[in-house]
Structures are given as structure tokens and as C-alpha cells.
Amino acid sequence: MNRFGMIRKKFALVSLLMLVLVILFQYFGIEYNIPLINLFILKDVMMPLGVIGGILFWLLMLVDLFKHSTLKNKALWGICLLIFTWPAAMVYYFAVYLKKE
């Protein structure tokens, strides 16, 4: 794998982790009312970063599907990525993206 491919893989992983962290912070902050999670920095800084990370992750998986993928069922993956957005992007990441060289 070339250097740009490794950077893309690391960027995808960081974006995915940002999204998952924000989802976990949001869930535990509301569900269990943990004061630490309701801090200013987590709500006003982490939430936009998580949303941006999720969108970038989804776009990276979409671009990978149409530019770099040799899958036979590209249309099905494309429809799933467009309809189910980031949950489908997470499935694509673990099912297809990580299995590349």
C-alpha cells in the first residue's frame, strides 16, 4: 500500500472514532446524567467535531467505493451508503475497506 493509502486509512479510523465518541458522550450524558460529560467543551466542541468526522468518514467510504473499489455489487453498496449514510459506512469500513491490501 502506498503512503497516501495509509494516510487515508488512518484518517478514516480517526473520523470513525470521533463519531463513535460523540455518540457515546451524547448517550451517557443524557441517559445517566453524568456531569463530566455535560461540560462545555464536550458539548460545544466535541459535538461539531464528531458530526464533521462522521460526514468526512461517510464521504471517504463513498469515494473509496466508486473510485478504488473492485466490488461486483457496487450499486448495492452505493445505494446502502446513500440511504443509511454513516451506519452503512461503518459496515463498509469493516467489511470491505479494512480487507484491502
Position 39 confidence tier, pLDDT thresholds 50, 70, 90: low
The more confident residue out of 5 and 14 is: 14
CA distance 26 to 61: 24
Prediction pTM value: 0.71
**What pLDDT is recorded for position 82?**
92
pLDDT more than 70, % of the chain: 75
> Does residue 92 contact residue 65 with C-beta atoms inside 8 Å?
yes
Position 83 confidence tier, pLDDT thresholds 50, 70, 90: very high
Torsion of CA 43, 48, 54, 57, to 10 degrees: -130
Rounded to the nearest integer, the mean pLDDT of the chain is 78
Domain coordinates in residue numbering, the chain = 3-99
